[in-house]
Structure 1
Amino acid sequence: METPETGMLIRLSDSDETVANAADDIRDRHVKDKDGEDLGRVSDLLVDTTEHKVRLFEVASGGFLGIGREKTYIPVDAITAITSDEVRIDQTRSHIAGSPAYDPDLVRERDTYGSIQDYYGYSPFWGPDYRYPDYPNYRH
């Protein structure tokens, strides 16, 4: 059942929470699209404040020493494989380039990440039929 808090996200770096198993923390890993092209690195994780599950991850790309760096949110549903140094997703670079604009002030706005889920073709994680993804290809 949906409550007012369901679906509210916080950046892991802005919270007191940690990833239970350090090996499962994908931050700073390279992100590759479905064609193997580099998209950047995972810069943060957006966690559901109700269920404490990662719902989106933030990818930073470009720039030098953080200047000119662009960021994009991608649903965890897009992940197809995780290794010790990279995260592979089922999307293309061109599709990601057209994704909703990154705005750190809207990270807690449900409509913002609802539009992200929709853009990538996934059901809202607060919906009754949503099933959290399972990653059988995960390797350490």
Structure 2
Amino acid sequence: MASANPVISSERVEGTSVYNPAGDKLGSIDDLMIDKISGQVRYAVLEFGGFLGIGTDRYPLPWSMLKYDTSQDGYVVPLTKEQIDGAPRYASDKVPDYDDRYSGTIDKYYGL
């Protein structure tokens, strides 16, 4: 029987695959963005696009949108590849400040 432990190490989250509801792999988790004050994970940064890790962009997804699916051993988000392709993103070497303005842009895109 699987453990029902409610916590997970960020090391285990990073690299986990992300799928859409149809089972298509959208990418994998590259990083987690944690609120300094509350300690809560605010965003999971999806690595998506490129070829063999070259030219991949980072797409911050609101953590609340990700649901872990044990049958896929990954997270599922209610998004299509096209929706993610049009989402806020940045190059891996150009991490933006996750200030209120940038966070607002992400949340607005996803309707939160």
TM-score (structure 1 length as normaliser): 0.63
Change (3 A) 1:29 1:48: same
RMSD: 2.3
* 1:24 Cα deviation after fit: 8.6
Q: Do residues 113 (structure 1) and 100 (structure 2) align?
A: no
1:1-16 map, 5 Å: none
Q: Do residues 52 (structure 1) and 52 (structure 2) align?
A: no
Q: Which has the higher contact order (CA 8 A, sep 6+)?
A: 1
TM-score (structure 2 length as normaliser): 0.77
Contact 1:31 1:39 in 2 (8 A): yes
SS at match of 2:102: helix
User: Which residue does 1:99 correspond to in 2?
Assistant: 87
* Percent of residue pairs identical: 25
User: Which residue does 2:4 correspond to in 1?
Assistant: none
Q: Distance in 1 between matches of 2:90 and 2:39?
A: 22
Which runs of no fewer than 5 residues in structure 1 stay unpaired? Answer: 1-19, 123-140
Which runs of no fewer than 5 residues in structure 2 stay unpaired? Answer: 1-6
